[in-house]
Amino acid sequence: MNNNQKGFTLIEMVIAITILGIVGGLSALIIDRTVDGYDATARRAKLHSGARLAIDRITREVRHALPNSICTYNGSTCNSVADRVYFLKSREGSEYQTLTGNYTNGNPRAPLPVFPATASSFDVLSTDSLNASINDWVVVYNTNNTSIYNVGSTKRRQINSITTKAVDASNNVQVINFLSATYFNGHSPSRRFQIIQDNATLFYLSGTDLFRATSAITSPNTPTGIPRLLLENVTALNFSYIAGTQQRASVLRIDLTITVKGESIHIIHEAHIQNAA
């Protein structure tokens, strides 16, 4: 009989199983925390990406805003801290004719009609092809974000047609025509005008969803058509506006918080808008 046989005793097996259990438990805990950390990082990255896309969309559009048309609206007044903002987008800008008399070929110049003068057209200078269409609006020297939205505002006049006029043997100017004789209240310091479309652009929070919509110029806070969803899970949103001057840009401040599964991100962004009119 060989008494030198080797093997594991029951106690040794119990100790080994206990050690393996402890190591396995620690490994599972480490892996679980690693996975949770990865999920949290991925969730934060997704939240940040979605928020940045929405903010970039707002910034890109607001940089085309007609000077002094941005309104952060709290339901009663503009320029308040609010969860909605609307503005008019400028499609084009150019110089208008200010001189009277005739061009080289004898055709009469048509200056912009400024009160008390009235006219049904004016000549466009400094552009070969104006980005404008019938029913767009001509705006001259808008100075505030209230009266431009009023019915019958003298800061804007609607385009009825666009024609051309010869100024010499080989050159033309474009002519903007209105439905009838009209006028603007005053000149722009730079003798420029802007073209805006026949609607306003509106970004607003409804519940926890951020939407983009268009609206009528005279009812800019009321969406028309089907709004477009930009961002979900928005738990806080504040727009604030600092008006600029002819020499200094205006600023739209966007303060946004998104929360998903207890994970939140907070972004503050400032969009600078050229304000020369």
3-state helix, strand, coil split of the chain in percent (to 5) is 20, 40, 40
List the chain residues with pLDDT less than 70: 1-8, 12, 24-28, 30-45, 246, 276-277
Containing H/E element for 30?
helix 10-62
The C-alpha atoms of residue 14 and residue 226 are separated, in whole angstroms, by 69
Q: Note the helical H segments in 63-186.
A: none
Give the ranges where the chain is alpha helix by DSSP (H): 10-62
**Could you tell me the CA-to-CA distances from 222 to 72, 111, 200, 227, 237 in Å, in that order?**
14, 36, 10, 11, 19
Whole-model pTM? Answer: 0.82
**R_g (Cα) of the chain, nearest Å:** 32
Place of tokens 């941005």: 70
SS3 call for 82:
strand
Q: How many CB atoms lie within 10 A of CB 164?
A: 11
252 forms bridges with which residues in the sheet?
Answer: 241, 271
**DSSP classification of residue 114:** B
Tokens of residue 176, six digits: 């903007």
> What pLDDT was estimated at residue 263?
83
Length of the chain equals: 277
